[in-house]
Amino acid sequence: MTETPTATRLLRAQGVTAPAGFRAAGIAAGIKASGAPDLALVFNEGPDYAAAGVFTRNKVKAAPVLWTQQVLTTGQLRAVILNSGGANACTGPGGFQDTHATAEAVAAALSDWGTETGAIEVAVCSTGLIGDRLPMDKVLNGVRDIVHEMHGGLTGGDDAAHAIMTTDSVPKQVALHHQKWTVGGMAKGAGMLAPSLATMLCVLTTDAVAEPAALDHALRRAAARTFDRLDIDGSCSTNDTVLLLASGASEFTPSQADLDDAVLRVCDDLCAQLQADAEGVTKRVTVTVEGATSEDDALTAARVIARDSLVKTAVFGSDPNWGRVLAAVGMAPITLDPNRISVSFNGAAVCIDGVGVPGAREVDLSAPDIDITVDLNIGDAQAAVRTTDLSYAYVEENSAYSS
């Protein structure tokens, strides 16, 4: 049942409708004042409806997160409705009723359309400004319209990927094709990329045959290695949701290892797309910590460096200021020996055993991709975190208007 890696193809022009058994749509429902697309639907035609999800670890959770966590306890989903233009977070019991009413409306519209569906089979995701109630007349009208716009072809997935954008400048989607089965996905998010779960909304689809437990295993493993290690500004959204739906339409059952690998590859690619389009980004930065006594220590140290404003502003200025990296790693609550730490920028050693290397101040960091590697030299464990620089544009995007 195992295929060779060379039999796979990763295509960025495709998304959630690349696997068989899925339709999707994206429309402008009038939720956004701009008139841009703001409502998306992903529909699983079956024959299977297995699903899994991972959610924000923020204690302040938006109504759609609370709803979707509940419906996913069944391990089954027929549809996901997503809106941009409002997070429906910090909106109290009224906001939760709005989410519930949205799921009911999707179920009714799909039933009218010909597929008997219950609200408990409908996940809801929202993104946008925290604290405002959604314009429910527009949401409910949009739900009635969108079921008639669903396409199984690639345009359906593309429309959906556009409709979930907020401050994103480009849609993010990708599909990984195996000979007999496919995994597709779309994601949005460029701001609240997070410590515990990055971003964002992400819907993954596959036509593989897989039990909910198998999907859950693959999704948690992949999220921990990808979205969880994308840290743009240390902020963690109230709405972060990643869902994985399996239609079984390929009638092919991959091994757990192959499923794990495919979901990881799709998440990793979406993660790279999110990093490249993060708010205000001028440089894509990967911070790798190696030689740690544990992977946890390596990850903690990489995260502290990736979040450090002084490191991030230095990278923006193309300044090889390795002392700020040392100062950051010294704040991490991990085991380390300051006299054994080495640092390199894009492969050039700038600090060895805690002391600067001659010429370190002349290392060229003008390229858009910056690799910061810190070797603690006290163990064998390593971990990497993706981040970006801290630029004028980041400040502008986050200060000039409410988002």
Annotated binding-site members for substrate: 166, 188, 199, 279, 398, 403
| Closer residue to its own copies (CB): 110 or 197 | 197
- Contact with its own copies (CB under 8 A) among 112, 137, 296, 353: 353
Please identify which of the residues 167, 199, 238, 373 carries the catalytic annotation.
Answer: 199
CB of 322 to its own copies, least distance (A): 6
360 binds its own copies (CB under 8 A): yes
Q: 164 with 39: CB under 8 angstroms?
A: no
152 binds its own copies (CB under 8 A): no
Which of these segments, 104-112, 251-259, 267-275, 328-336, binds its own copies (CB under 8 A)?
328-336
φ and ψ at 393, to 5 degrees? -65, -35
196 binds its own copies (CB under 8 A): yes
Q: Which residue has the tokens 């019991």?
A: 93
CA distance 157 to 165: 13
118 binds its own copies (CB under 8 A): no
Which DSSP state fits 201? E
CB of 124 to its own copies, least distance (A): 18
CB of 67 to its own copies, least distance (A): 15
Residues in CB range of 365: below 8 A, 6 or more apart: 315, 318, 319, 320, 345, 346
In this structure, what token pair is assigned to residue 173?
């989607």
- Contact with its own copies (CB under 8 A) among 64, 85, 185, 191: 191
Give the torsion through C-alpha atoms of 265, 199, 127, 155, to 10 deg. Answer: -20
- Name the residue among 86, 155, 136, 140 with its Cα closest to residue 109: 140
Q: Is position 241 annotated as part of the catalytic site?
A: no
Which of these segments, 27-35, 159-167, 181-189, 384-392, binds its own copies (CB under 8 A)?
384-392
Which of these segments, 53-61, 163-171, 176-184, 285-293, binds its own copies (CB under 8 A)?
53-61
Site residues (CB under 8 A) for its own copies, limited to 125-144: 129-132
- Contact with its own copies (CB under 8 A) among 11, 224, 327, 378: 327
| Closer residue to its own copies (CB): 31 or 87 | 87
Residue list, annotated binding site: 166, 188, 199, 279, 398, 403
Which of these segments, 18-26, 57-65, 117-125, 379-387, binds its own copies (CB under 8 A)?
57-65
CB of 83 to its own copies, least distance (A): 16
391 binds its own copies (CB under 8 A): yes
Cβ count near 340 (within 10 Å): 14
60 binds its own copies (CB under 8 A): yes
Estimate to the nearest angstrom the gap between the alpha carbon of 14 and the chain centroid.
17
| Closer residue to its own copies (CB): 108 or 136 | 136
Q: Are strands 39-44 and 79-83 parallel, antiparallel or unpaired?
A: antiparallel
E strand intervals along 215-337: 241-246, 284-292
| Closer residue to its own copies (CB): 38 or 231 | 231
CA distance 290 to 274: 25
Q: Which residue has the tokens 């058994």?
A: 21
> Can you give the C-alpha Rg of the chain in angstroms?
22
Q: 80 with 125: CB under 8 angstroms?
A: yes
| Closer residue to its own copies (CB): 116 or 401 | 401
Q: DSSP per residue over 100-116, as a string? A: HHHHHHHHHHHHHHT--
CB of 268 to its own copies, least distance (A): 24
In this structure, what token pair is assigned to residue 268?
């990793």
- Name the residue among 88, 90, 49 with its Cα closest to residue 72: 49
Residue type present at position 250: S
Q: 3 with 181: CB under 8 angstroms?
A: no
Binding stretches for its own copies (CB under 8 A)? 58-61, 87, 89-92, 129-132, 191-192, 195-196, 233-238, 307-310, 313-314, 316-317, 319, 321-324, 326-332, 336, 338-339, 341, 351, 353-356, 360-361, 390-392, 394-396, 398-402
Residues tagged active-site: 199
